[in-house]
Amino acid sequence: MFLDNLDSASKVNRSLVCVGLDPIISLIPSGDVFQFNKCIIDATKDHVCAYKPNLAFYEALGKPGLEALKNTIEYIREFASGVLIIGDAKRGDIEHSNVAYARAMFVRWGFDAVTVNAYAGMESVRPFSDYEDRGVIVLCRTSNPGSDVFQELNVQHDKISMPLYEFVARQTVQWNTNGNLALVVGANYHHQLANVRAICGDMPILIPGIGSQGGELRGAVQSGINKNGRRIIINSSRSILYASQGSDFAYKAEETAKGLKDSINLILQEAGLDWDK
């Protein structure tokens, strides 16, 4: 089950950190994506609860990119077993097409969870959540500039006004009959994180935007955690992967990932919610 696996992965490594495996060839010393990912995984596997390859980067490299993704997934399964693999694919289609996407993500790639875009409604989520042992993480409030144009729009439903992202969160809670849905909320939106947490109970929240994207950690953690100080997945990609572009990149990646883990754990500890509880 997705929630059990996430909780277990978090607990074993005492970590709410996810490393986004987003290979940018020009920043990789050897130019070999799989070898790079391997080094990053070896260096960070004791400090994370999840890895999150974004499929865009692999698709952009064509066949060798997809091969590198396949090898990366297999490597994590073998050498970092227990750590979750989130396919950051932001898929979202309708009917047979979406059934096919769910099959691609969960059966072909074998991801533990995927990110999805729910603009087409419940039908764009259901074929994924029908895989009851996998997680489905719905885009709610993204971390990019200009994301407010739709996500903060004031919408009216049953005579109640709210921003669209909040309505997406409320719908996702309603759709969560298999208990395997989660939400994406950017680290830079503390108010929205707190609002979504109040709506979604103990649902996991994937929080991108720490590090390169400039989100402030303390506020994100404090706003995002559930009452037990868990169920957030703090993602960092470039600030870990490319902490150094020299031959010490793996060492620097480990240092940065461990630093992020420790910083989060300190915030939890201050709130009386550390891992021994």
Q: How far is the CB of 272 from a copy of itself (least distance, A)?
A: 35
Q: Which of 10, 44, 72, 143 binds a copy of itself (CB under 8 A)?
A: 143
Q: Which amino acid is at 100?
A: A
Binding mask 93-112 for a copy of itself (x = CB under 8 A): xxxxxx-xx-xx--xx----
Q: How far is the CB of 167 from a copy of itself (least distance, A)?
A: 7
Binding mask 56-95 for a copy of itself (x = CB under 8 A): xx-xxxxx--x---------------------x-xxxxxx
90 is catalytic: yes
Q: Of 11, 90, 159, 277, which one is the catalytic site residue?
A: 90
| Under rule CB under 8 A, residue 181 binds a copy of itself | no
Q: How far is the CB of 117 from a copy of itself (least distance, A)?
A: 5
Q: Which of 12, 79, 119, 216 binds a copy of itself (CB under 8 A)?
A: 119
- SS3 of the chain: the string is CHHHHHHHHHHHCCCCEEECCCCCHHHCCCCCHHHHHHHHHHHHCCCCCEECCEHHHHHCCHHHHHHHHHHHHHHHHHHCCCCEEEEEEEECCCHHHHHHHHHHHHHHCCCCEEEECCCCCHHHCHHHHCCCCCEEEEEEECCCCCCHHHHCCEEEECCEEEEHHHHHHHHHHHHCCCCCEEEEECCCCHHHHHHHHHHHCCCCEEECCECCCCECHHHHHHHHCCCCCCCEEEEECHHHHCCCCCCCHHHHHHHHHHHHHHHHHHHHHHCCCCCCC
Binding mask 199-218 for a copy of itself (x = CB under 8 A): --------------x-----
| Under rule CB under 8 A, residue 51 binds a copy of itself | no
| Active site residues per annotation | 90
Residues at the contact surface with a copy of itself, assessed by CB under 8 A: 22, 24, 54, 56-57, 59-63, 66, 88, 90-98, 100-101, 103-104, 107-108, 117-124, 139, 142-151, 153-157, 161, 164, 167-168, 171, 213, 238
